[in-house]
Amino acid sequence: MMKIGIVGYGTGGRHFHAPFILAAKNVELSGIVARADITRAKVSADLPDTPIYNSLTEMIASGVDAVTISTPPHTRHDLVLESINAGIHVIADKPFAPNAAEARALAIAAKDNGVTLGVYHNRRWDSDVQTLKSVIAGGTLGELWRLHSRMDLDDPSTIEAGPTGGLLRDLGTHLVDQAIYLLGPVLSVDAQLNNVQLNAGRTDASFALTLRHENGATSHISASKMNYVNRRELRLYGSGGSYITQSTDVQAQDIFAGKRPTDDRLGWGYEPQSHWGSLNTANGSTVIPAKQGAYFEYYEAFERAVRTGAKPPVTALDGVATLAVLDAARQSGKTGQVTMVNQEISKF
pLDDT tens-digit series, residues 36-84: 999 999 999 999 999 999 999 999 999 999 999 999 888 899 999 999 9
Q: Is residue 320 part of a domain?
A: no
Average pLDDT over every residue of 202-228: 96
Q: What is the pLDDT of residue 8?
A: 97
118 plus 35 within the same structural domain: yes
Q: Is residue 348 part of a domain?
A: no
Q: Please report, for the chain, how many H helices and E strands are present, in that order.
A: 11, 15
pLDDT classification of 161: cutoffs 50, 70, 90: confident
273 plus 160 within the same structural domain: yes
38 plus 143 within the same structural domain: no
Pairwise CA distance, residues 217 & 143, whole Å = 9
| Residue 162: pLDDT over 80 | no
Task: Give just the sign of the alpha carbon dihedral 191, 192, 196, 202.
Answer: positive
Q: Say if CB 21 and CB 4 are below 8 A apart.
A: yes
Beta-strand relationship, 339-340 and 2-7 = unpaired
**199: amino acid identity, one letter:** N
Q: What is the pLDDT of residue 96?
A: 86
pLDDT classification of 101: cutoffs 50, 70, 90: very high
186 plus 306 within the same structural domain: no
Average pLDDT over every residue of 209-220: 98
Q: What is the pLDDT of residue 4?
A: 98
Average pLDDT over every residue of 106-124: 97
Q: What is the pLDDT of residue 166?
A: 92
Average pLDDT over every residue of 15-34: 98
Pairwise CA distance, residues 292 & 267, whole Å = 8
49 plus 182 within the same structural domain: no
Residues 258-284 pLDDT 10s = 999 999 999 999 999 999 999 999 999
pLDDT classification of 200: cutoffs 50, 70, 90: confident
90 plus 135 within the same structural domain: no
115 plus 169 within the same structural domain: no
193 plus 336 within the same structural domain: yes
What percentage of the chain carries pLDDT values higher than 70? 100
147 plus 63 within the same structural domain: no
92 plus 165 within the same structural domain: no
Distances, alpha carbon 41 to alpha carbons 12, 52, 76, in Å? 16, 10, 23
Q: Is residue 205 part of a domain?
A: yes
Q: Is residue 279 part of a domain?
A: yes
Q: To 10 degrees, what angle do helices 171-183 and 316-335 make?
A: 110
| Residue 308: pLDDT over 90 | yes
| Residue 163: pLDDT over 90 | no
Beta-strand relationship, 66-69 and 2-7 = parallel
Q: What is the pLDDT of residue 197?
A: 87
Q: Is residue 148 part of a domain?
A: yes
Q: What is the pLDDT of residue 116?
A: 98
Residues with Cβ within 8 Å of residue 249, at least 6 apart in sequence: 126, 232
Pairwise CA distance, residues 306 & 99, whole Å = 26
32 plus 78 within the same structural domain: yes
How open is the CA angle 169-312-144, to the nearest 5 degrees? Answer: 65
**How many structural domains comprise the chain?**
2
Q: What is the pLDDT of residue 10?
A: 95
Q: What is the pLDDT of residue 201?
A: 83
CATH code of the domain covering residue 87: 3.40.50.720
Q: Say if CB 234 and CB 222 are below 8 A apart.
A: no
**Helix (H, G, I), strand (E, B), or coil: what is residue 79?**
helix
How open is the CA angle 298-32-82, to the nearest 5 degrees? Answer: 80
Pairwise CA distance, residues 251 & 295, whole Å = 8
CATH code of the domain covering residue 250: 3.30.360.10
| Residue 3: pLDDT over 80 | yes
Spell 32-58 as b/e; 16+ CB within 10 A means b: bbbeeeebeebbeeebeebebbeebee
Torsion over CA of 91, 95, 99 and 104, rounded to 10 degrees? 20
What percentage of the chain carries pLDDT values higher than 90? 92
Q: Is residue 347 part of a domain?
A: no
216-225, 294-303, 326-335, 339-348: range with lowest mean pLDDT: 339-348
Pairwise CA distance, residues 103 & 99, whole Å = 6
How does the average pLDDT of the chain come out, rounded? Answer: 96
Q: What is the pLDDT of residue 38?
A: 97
pLDDT classification of 160: cutoffs 50, 70, 90: confident
Name the residue range of residue 191's domain. Answer: 124-293+325-340
Q: Is residue 333 part of a domain?
A: yes
Element (H, E) at 75: helix 73-85
333 plus 248 within the same structural domain: yes
Q: Is residue 304 part of a domain?
A: yes
- Residue 277, CB-side half-sphere exposure with 13 Å CA sphere: 26
pLDDT classification of 26: cutoffs 50, 70, 90: very high
